[in-house]
Structure 1
Amino acid sequence: MGRMPKKKSLTVRRVLVLLLAYIMLAVSGGVVASVLFVPGVIGTNKVAKAVIPSLKVENVDFDVTNLPQKSTMYASDGTTVIATFYNQNRIVVPLKKISKAMQQAVVAREDRRFWSHAGVDVQGVMRAFVQTYLIRGSQQGGSSLTQQYVKNVLLMQAIENDDSIAQYHATEDTIARKIREMLIAVQMEKKYSKAEILQGYLNIAQFGSNLYGVETAAQRYFSISASELTPIQAATIAAITKNPTKFDPLIEENQKASEEQRNIVLDLMAQEGYISQADAKKDKAIPLKDTLKVQQVNVGCQDTGDYAYFCDYVVHRIQNSEEFGKTRADRYKLLQEGGLKIVTTLDLDANSIMMNTARSTIPPDDPSGMELAMAAVKPGTGEILGFGLNRYYDATPEAANDATKSSQNYAVDLADGGGSGWTIGSSFKPINLIAWMESGHSINDNLQTSTRYATTDFACDRYSGGTDTWNVTNAFSSTVNPESPFLGLVRSHNTTQASMGTIMKLCKVADTATEVGYHDARTGETIDKTSSFTPSMMIGSVNVSPLTMASIFAVYASNGVQCNPIAIKKVTNGDGEELKVPSANCHQAVDPDIIQTLAYTLNQGVVRADGAGGSLQLAGGRKSFGKTGTSEDLAVSAGSFIPNQVATFVSVGDAQNPYTHRISNIRINGVYNSYWDGSSIASPAAKSFLQQYADKKQLPIDNNYGQAVAKYSASGTTLGIGGRSYSSRSSTTNGTTNSQGTTTQQGTTQQQGTATQQGTGTGQ
């Protein structure tokens, strides 16, 4: 049987046909429609016909300035970098901000005839063809800078669109891909100038491990901008792009190869007349490692140290805010690729003091395992100054096995990377006093109190009560009857809060809580839409974050101005356009006279011998304000402020397992207590932060804040449960009520209350 004739190699035939197409494109100068795509050519070139659909590039954005750029987060000073975010680490700059040496280095290395060809370097293509397919030497591409730019854009768009097929076609090692790039490159040269194309290439090309664009490379390797690059620095960067991983000069084992490649570029620059032979020789003699001045880059929140919790909160706010895009995916992409400049509200001093205070109060490795979370807000602005947590931020899987590390910020709401909230005990009670005054009552009315209340006594349009009762006691069985709302808050008595609730009803308390900015940490809902909407909420059986409470105490510190907490002051995109950011929506929420009277009461709770807040007194004669809280042995808290300057709130406990790991009969930071309360650990942390911050910032002392207004502090009548009036048996002087049956506590004994309702106990 005779041998069949040998078929001509399909590969050789394909190469010959495509080579003709290469040359035709280059010579035609891009007249694609009238030369290559005529029916006769297509009919004889099945390979070319196969790539025609991929040449429809109308939807590919070749705008040389529209590239993914890294975003940078700054502290409130607008200059201190907190973190950077990127899918591709890139900073886009115009050609005029790229040194001449850098432009020359990349042209010498990649495409020395760049300024003269029409998008395809015919000589380069012929050389590559002969070397690769005729003499079977090393494979060469012959790609012009324009073609390389096209390749990078197609790959980038494929990645952006999460299109794995397009990614494959953008990088496959085939002549079909080369043809496609050449076709588009010739068209690009018709639309863009050489300078625009070079600018695009210098901004899109990869110059190291996840380093894109010469500006990022210049900053990373030499701590300068691209406009300052010298020939030796430019040669180092230009050499990398041939193999960004192999020639990355920051990888120690790569430095020899990187230096060799740098020297090749210096020789090429000398050949093109960009530098002298003598300068090339001198630069080649300098070890590469001696030229580097590496700039460290914090990528994401993981590597930002004590800024990490604040950074993480800002990222969550961006992802949760419609101002930054319709969907979470859009917002994430904007952060990673939008070249944003994010100026936050972070006060470096406040954040540093809080983190140090948290860890010194309860060390991260303390055997108690207790967590401390605190937040601070600037009154009247909503600006979050920082957070304090007694943990080290770590979002890696390894953190799960290290109790000193966590990425969960228990100072904020669940949606923003926090937890389900803390019970705060008596720290809630100032809200009750605001509601009381808004209901038209005086803080010096005397109330008949009891230790047992029917829940129906608190009924209103949104709360009906039930058949159960609320059993309420004060700490150490210190029941006082009658007692004024003023003394009820000063001494932190639960029974008086309950009596107030039967008179003004629970809906009023809920409305006032909403008015000052309260919402549930787990659901984000107002209190009357949660399971906390029961009479015991008046003594803090709620689920709230320290940040929300710090914002509420900021209302007390700003004459009644309520602001939503904000962490972002200003955002500009890669084009320098300012974007809309979430608003603090600051507004007058509470009558200033009511706030002044409340502040007076909170101050009296600090300075009076029978007050519950003595541990919050600041030094230097500064008038002090605050309220502590104790939720049985589940958690303890404290809130305090310096008028118009700063408000803070602290919570302590086991945020994850409060019912199984209780804060009683336990040693914390070397100190044992059978009964821990807000004054013994939370308020010292709040006081320490405020004192250090006031000293650091030299905050002015305003001791005029907190003056009781007669309308809300006049002597009142004695009221019974439900508002029934009785003849007054008390007299009031300067806010101090001397009532029959009232006992004055000696010293600074803290009056903590406990209460139970359906098995739930809170107090202060």
Structure 2
Amino acid sequence: MPSWKLVSGLFIGFVGSLVALVGVGYAMVSIPNENVAAKSQNNVYYWADGKQMVATGTGVNRQNVSIDQIPDAMQWAVISAENKSFYQDSGVDPMGIARAVVNMARGGQTQGGSTITQQYVKNTYLSQQQTVTRKLRELFISIKVGTKLKKSQILQGYLNTSYFGRGAYGIQAAAQTYYGKNAVDLTPSQCAVLASLLKGPTYFDPAGNADLDPSATATANKKRSQERWRWILEQMHNDHHLSDADYRKAIAQYPMPDGRKATKGMTGQISYLVDTAKKYVLAHSDITEADFDRGGYQIKTTFEKDKVNELSAAVKKIQKERIDPKRRDLDKYVQFGAASVRPNNGAIVALYGGDGYENGHFTNNADTSGVPVGSTWKPFVLAAAMEYGTYRSGGQGISPLSKYNGNDHLKVMKPDGSYYLNKDNSTFYQNNESPRRWGYISLRKAMEQSINTPFVQLGVDVGMTHVRDVARSAGILSDSMSQDLNPSFAIGTSTPSAIRMADAYATFAASGKHADPYSVTSVKKDGEEVQGFTKPQVTTAMPANVANNVTDVLENVIQNGTGFNAKALGRTAAGKTGTTDSNKSAWFVGYTQQLSTSVAMFRENPKDHELLSMNGTAGVPSIHGGDIPTSVWTEYMKAALQGKNDPGFPDATEIGKVQDEAGAPSPTPTVSITPSPSPSDSPSPSPSATSPSPSPSASDTCQWNWGNGCNGNGNGNGGADTGGVDGGTSPAPTVTDTTGTGGNTRGNGNGNGNGGIFAGPTG
């Protein structure tokens, strides 16, 4: 038998060794860095009114909040249910850990008994793997964390990292997922329900999780949830964390959570709103995409929920009425893009980007280029003429009452008197939609009826660089404009986004004042404001009277011209239709003083993203900007402006001098014009490739279709040239957005067999 001294020595040695082992273990185990998953959060986007739009950006639905944003009732609900001695203990439960270690050593699972500190350590610093090693590390780290962090910090961390089910990590995500509100607004009764989920959301979510476990039916789970909810409230009351009155109020009725699930993906227009806002954030800050995608940002946008819904509803309504891809093959692949901007501000209040990510449409049609704008470009030509004049006016702006030849199939004269030629040196002719003989008409009338020939010649007379500069000042990005400033530049070969077109027309609505379009008003991270999101500065893009005169002319487009369908809006408005070469796109851009909105319609081959003709789409020969796009615009603007006043527009005062084009008879002959039965802005064949000639040919001495012998046949009908044979396409379009950076390309321009390098949208 060993002596008592030996036994005592062995016992003391064992205890000493154990103490030494614990000491060494404690010294060797340091507090590791936080898990990436524990630090990952969602980026939360908010509507303009401050209400949450969506939480997205990472695979984890989490938004951390500070302890002062977590109700006392939620804190005490967790403490009363999980760890009553939280504020007194050292952060560990030795007996609970011993039970867990023994159970795992026997091949079983861990058991309960962990303190809030231990659970916080497991969530934040360790994996969820259930092993003896992990449990021992948890012990040592918990002790160290307990000595380094305040109890409020530990509780905050625990409630921000715990899993509440439905994909929601943390109390803020749980509050939004189960009750559709922020954590700070939770009632004590709701707090008790959420606290019950920490015991196991699979079995305590009242919506049920039978797909995970057949025993977790909605009925069974609701019963379990109600029992634990009642027990937690009793514990809070017994622990003096709920007064008698608050307890009676909380226990009176079980607060059934919402049935919705956590957001797993963006649907509808939300996907495009987030896409636009994210690009804006990255372009206006030093935040890298990798940092942004790690989450934790709160982004307040300019988007107004009601207007987004109204714009989407307008597209869907008209689409349902007019487009039937099941019955007509030519209705397949029709797409829309639209945007609505506040004049004199630049805030993007609504956009329509497509059918939604859930339907496989990942390109934001409102914020990418590639769709030529056609005749919606003509107002920039007119504005340039009123501001800069022509080479014949000596720098003095010209009046919209100036007359240009509106006949079809006309030669285009350069300032040096020569004419543009096709690449085979034949004479180039600009065409209209129809051979109608308009004769010399005012620019105002030409805009009203969307006639091409006057604006092509006007653009040359003003100088395409001036047209480009005016468009740029109004808000069009340089990289979305055609780089070849040939005659067709004047009739819309450029491909700006719907956002940029709405913003540029907003410059007319605001009497020449321009603000860059923006979609984000503030960004926060960890409660701190990120710099760079002040509202864009309003600048003067053009003289006020130039803009007001453009508006006056565009009001007439709606009242008497191709935009007549917009009269159904029933209030003062201005706008312009646009249809492009081969009918590959159709636009309407219009505005009041309150809103400027653009709508684009096009067909696109889903395989190669080439634009397709819309001839025959919707069961009609061709789609015009004054048709379906104008109907969408009108439907949306009616809803968006309902109940708003009609401020009209500032009066336009007389501007510039009447400067008729070169070669116009003096005095200008009176031309009798019979109104068309239904004005349209349809396309005409575009010119073919040219190599501009330095001088006119000897036969080109007769200007327009006046007098015998001019342009070929002696009766003023023009020559026989069809406009070229080379076809060609415009330069490949590139992406554009609210920032001038990033995105996807679309389309291949809009030339057809008649177009050549001038291939231009017309009408």
Does the pair score TM above 0.5?
yes
SS state at 1:569 partner = strand
SS state at 2:61 partner = coil
Offset, 1:527: 1.8
Offset, 1:599: 1.7
Query: Which residue of 2 is the match for residue 503 of structure 1?
Result: 461
TM-score by length of 2: 0.73
Q: Is the 8 A contact 1:357 1:685 kept in 2?
A: yes
- Counterpart pick for 2:615 among 658, 661, 664: 664
Within 5 A, what are the aligned runs for 1:304-343?
Answer: 305=268, 307-318=270-281, 320-323=282-285, 325-334=286-295, 337-338=296-297, 340=298, 342-343=299-300
Higher strand proportion (structure 1 or 2): 1
- Counterpart pick for 1:412 among 367, 371, 375: 367
Q: Is the 8 A contact 1:447 1:718 kept in 2?
A: yes
1:384 aligns with 2:383: no
- Counterpart pick for 1:552 among 504, 511, 518: 504
Offset, 1:273: 8.4
Query: Which residue of 2 is the match for residue 719 of structure 1?
Result: 662
Offset, 1:288: 14
Offset, 1:698: 2.0
Within 5 A, what are the aligned runs for 1:561-600?
Answer: 561-575=513-527, 577=529, 579-581=531-533, 583-600=535-552
What code does the residue aligned with 1:757 have?
Answer: P
Q: Closer, same or farther in 2 for the Cα pair 1:755/1:458, shift >3 Å?
A: farther
Offset, 1:298: 6.4
- Counterpart pick for 1:709 among 639, 651, 654: 654
Q: Is the 8 A contact 1:239 1:258 kept in 2?
A: no
SS state at 1:294 partner = coil
Q: Closer, same or farther in 2 for the Cα pair 1:751/1:22, shift >3 Å?
A: farther
Query: Which residue of 2 is the match for residue 700 of structure 1?
Result: 646
SS state at 1:374 partner = strand
Query: Which residue of 2 is the match for residue 675 of structure 1?
Result: 622
For 2:100 and 2:17, locate their aligned partners in 1 and report how far apart those are by CA, in whole Å.
12
Within 5 A, what are the aligned runs for 1:235-634?
Answer: 236-253=193-210, 254=216, 256=220, 259-260=223-224, 263=227, 274=238, 291-294=255-258, 296=260, 299=263, 302-303=266-267, 305=268, 307-318=270-281, 320-323=282-285, 325-334=286-295, 337-338=296-297, 340=298, 342-363=299-320, 365-366=324-325, 367=328, 368-369=331-332, 370-388=334-352, 392-393=355-356, 395-396=357-358, 399-400=359-360, 406-413=361-368, 420-440=369-389, 441-443=397-399, 444-447=401-404, 451=409, 453=411, 470-519=428-477, 525-527=479-481, 529=483, 533-575=485-527, 577=529, 579-581=531-533, 583-608=535-560, 611-618=561-568, 620=570, 622-634=571-583
**Which whole-Å deviations, capped at 9, do the CAs of 1:112-151 have from their partners, x for residues lacking one?**
4433332332333344445555x88764475432222112
For 2:261 and 2:108, locate their aligned partners in 1 and report how far apart those are by CA, in whole Å.
41
Query: Which residue of 2 is the match for residue 30 of structure 1?
Result: none
- Counterpart pick for 1:114 among 82, 86, 98: 86
**Which whole-Å deviations, capped at 9, do the CAs of 1:21-62 have from their partners, x for residues lacking one?**
9974xxxxxxxxxx6698xx5xxxxxx59x94x6263x5599
1:728 aligns with 2:650: no
For 1:23 and 1:233, locate their aligned partners in 2 and report how far apart those are by CA, in whole Å.
46
SS state at 1:663 partner = coil
Q: Is the 8 A contact 1:426 1:492 kept in 2?
A: yes
Within 5 A, what are the aligned runs for 1:146-225?
Answer: 146-155=117-126, 170-221=127-178
Offset, 1:435: 1.4
For 1:275 and 1:96, locate their aligned partners in 2 and report how far apart those are by CA, in whole Å.
21
TM-score by length of 1: 0.73
SS state at 1:477 partner = coil
For 1:22 and 1:373, locate their aligned partners in 2 and report how far apart those are by CA, in whole Å.
74
Offset, 1:554: 1.0
| RMSD (CA atoms) | 4.3
For 2:528 and 2:258, locate their aligned partners in 1 and report how far apart those are by CA, in whole Å.
27
Q: Is the 8 A contact 1:633 1:676 kept in 2?
A: no
What code does the residue aligned with 2:564 have?
Answer: G
- Counterpart pick for 1:55 among 22, 25, 30: 30
Q: Is the 8 A contact 1:458 1:502 kept in 2?
A: no
Q: Closer, same or farther in 2 for the Cα pair 1:265/1:194, shift >3 Å?
A: farther
Quick one: percent identity of the two aligned structures?
Answer: 23
Within 5 A, what are the aligned runs for 1:121-140?
Answer: 121-130=93-102, 133=105, 139-140=110-111
Q: Closer, same or farther in 2 for the Cα pair 1:194/1:506, shift >3 Å?
A: closer
Q: Is the 8 A contact 2:206 2:225 kept in 1?
A: no
Offset, 1:588: 0.9
**Which whole-Å deviations, capped at 9, do the CAs of 1:278-311 have from their partners, x for residues lacking one?**
x99xx9xx999964232636627624x4555434
Give the unaligned 5+ runs of structure 1.
1-15, 25-34, 42-47, 156-169, 401-405, 414-419, 721-725, 731-738
Q: Is the 8 A contact 2:196 2:232 kept in 1?
A: no
Q: Is the 8 A contact 1:636 1:651 kept in 2?
A: yes
For 2:227 and 2:18, locate their aligned partners in 1 and report how far apart those are by CA, in whole Å.
33
For 2:500 and 2:583, locate their aligned partners in 1 and report how far apart those are by CA, in whole Å.
19
For 2:613 and 2:460, locate their aligned partners in 1 and report how far apart those are by CA, in whole Å.
31
SS state at 2:632 partner = helix
SS state at 1:581 partner = coil
Q: Closer, same or farther in 2 for the Cα pair 1:301/1:411, shift >3 Å?
A: farther
Offset, 1:330: 1.7
